[in-house]
Amino acid sequence: MTSTQLFQHRMQSILLPYRNAEIHCLKFGAGPQLLIALHGFGDRARMFVVLEEALTEKYTVIAVDWPFHGQTEWPDDTFSKEDLLGIIRLILEREGKKRFCLMGFSFGARLAQAMLPELAGQLDKLYLLSPDGVETKGMSIAVRTPMWLRRLMFKLLQRPEWFLNLLRFGRKIRVVPPLIQHFLVANLSRTDRFRRTFGCWLSLNSFYLGRRKIRAILHDSNLPTDVYFGTKDEMVRFSTLKKMTEGLPNVRLFLMEEGHRLVGENLKDRMLDS
């Protein structure tokens, strides 16, 4: 049996009933501490499988397919911080734990940071991987867009062909940046991706926590925190991340020669070394 087959044998798929939804999680690892992992936008719980070797001895990992992602069934149009806190409480009850560790990648790190006011006192360790929620290029527009306009666009873009044609024209005359065009075309042209995109956008305000507040919580709680950042990251502004974390003895910042999507074999090896 190969190591991959052995891992798949150990990996457990879990379905948690929450209100009128069904939350899918993957459980792996054999360590004494519980680690809850939150993936990024457009990803799924399985993305953390590559880190199994680095995590398994220390942690029992439960990676969550959060609303609108993976195998989670989420019938509502939005979700909130209270929903995510409720899901975490379900996991703690299931595992018989009161304390745990938390990991978030990209948008998942935004979710993790937003919950710090409620969870910091229960956390033994925080992992932030390419953390959104610090200063992510392009996200300020998404955050500042009024809710009434978001809801209006949700209705107008149920049939997005006219808007996609407008984007293509904007790209042709170099008004729309290629990254923005690629993201919107990829996420508006399919029903499931459309629902995921607007579900997250309509929910975004629930997961905002200012950088000063994040820093204050990390300082006051003395929560051990490891931040992993790719020096080729095209989305998160490093200068802001450094300013938020420098001078905090409980925060370690690891730089890697990676882009934004740094969850992979190199991150596994770096975690094994640290």
Quote the distance between the C-alpha of residue 197 and its chain's center.
14
Predicted structure pTM score: 0.90
Q: What is the pLDDT of residue 138?
A: 64
All residues at 6 or more sequence positions from 252 whose CB lies less than 8 Å from its CB, including other chains: 225, 226, 227, 274
Q: What is the pLDDT of residue 1?
A: 43
Q: Answer whether 28's CB lies under 8 Å from 34's CB.
A: no
Q: Mean pLDDT by 10-residue block, N- to C-terminus, for the chain (274 residues)?
A: 51 94 96 97 95 95 96 95 97 97 97 97 97 78 84 88 85 78 81 89 90 95 97 90 93 96 95 89
- CATH 3.40.50.1820 in the chain is located at 3-137+206-273
The yes or no reply on domain 3-137+206-273 and CATH 1.10.645.10 is no
Tokens of 80: 């909130």
Q: What is the pLDDT of residue 33?
A: 97
> Identity (one letter) of the amino acid at 26?
L
Q: What one-character-per-residue DSSP string does the chain give? A: --HHHHHHHH-EEEEEEETTEEEEEEEE---SEEEEEE--TT--GGGGGGGHHHHTTTEEEEEE--TTSTT-B--SS---HHHHHHHHHHHHHHHT-S-EEEEEETHHHHHHHHTHHHHGGGEEEEEEES-TTS-BTTHHHHHHS-HHHHHHHHHHTTSTHHHHHHHHHHHHTT-S-HHHHHHHHHHHSSHHHHHHHHHHHHHGGGG---HHHHHHHHHHHT--EEEEEETT-SSB-HHHHHHHHTT-TTEEEEEES--S---SHHHHHHHHH-
Q: Answer whether 104's CB lies under 8 Å from 38's CB.
A: yes
